[in-house]
Structure 1
């Protein structure tokens, strides 16, 4: 079943500034879908439009068949649409435990039970539960940001450049975690600049160019497509990178 269905989404940072010019995409439950594209293609703007940080000026968004276009960020969190932004995604002065509790701000009565669930899934957070967020490494911060989002039990989890600034090994570990979340039945939509690695771990992908759909399909098929390789990989195959 389609968890997230986006049709002809239009919007940007002003009435006359349409960075996104009619993007359509869908994500099913238990599916990991990645958006790739050159800088300025509108990838992150799509996510901001979907979670209400920017207001769409056109198009339709459905979550499990329910129309949610143009709702406020709070209402979208309540509906189950969560975004882990690339930056400023944790509270540095709060402990790991306190950061996780913030993820349940709409249902604080369930915070302790949900925190136990998240720490069982992400044991490193349990080991660092009293540590201030600012003391965590880059990879640990991303882990905490994802854990904070999981506290709200999203129907669709969206990630904006989750491996930005991480070492190759830490990025690989993070991708493995994202796949585990997908394997648990959650719909995951990810924006990634690291196109090759993202395509290798995803089920399907969408390629955006200049705010519009350029290509979409099976992620591994796209990774092997000569045009996609030329656009993002300098013509190299996965085996050559």
Structure 2
């Protein structure tokens, strides 16, 4: 069955059409900081690079892992166990102001006045296979969360329909609007106003022209696939 699902998914959409949803949003917090990036699969070298390629987090495990644990307890308290169970840690950026000189040749240049966080944790929310939604959380030096959550609280969270996979999402989109093809992107997103996760399907613009271009889009409630909205979007192209 797993082999069949994989093959079916490959036929209904190419990997290049699967978008990365959400936003880490680190630009507002650590983009201009002298940061090193750490992950469990990072480089084990003791010579830390300044290009934000991940470094083995175990080199600073005693310092950062307790902070990670305390942050994740806060996430669980806010969002609940059900949402948290679908979160996967990706990496953490840490600002080292005493290393500014090492970042002199890196672009963008360091500007501590625009460095708004000490730590920036990246997570993936994974509702189903092949789909990822980016969650970024910024902390100050006292471990206070200084960024907005781009996911619902436990009182607002509606359980994701685990049976709704990419292929069914695409079929629902086609049945809703037969002009949605060719499909440009399918991604998983969050609506902060209505506090719901949804599937986003957008049409690819074939005859792109300079100026205003219109294309079809569909949103499917991730907790209730019967709630579907079809609408038009516009993009402006300038050559």
Q: Give TM class, smaller chain.
A: under 0.3
Q: Which has the higher strand share?
A: 2
TM-score, with length taken from structure 2: 0.27
The structure showing larger relative contact order (alpha-carbon pairs under 8 Å, at least 6 residues apart) is 1
Greater CA radius of gyration, 1 or 2?
Answer: 2
TM-score, with length taken from structure 1: 0.27
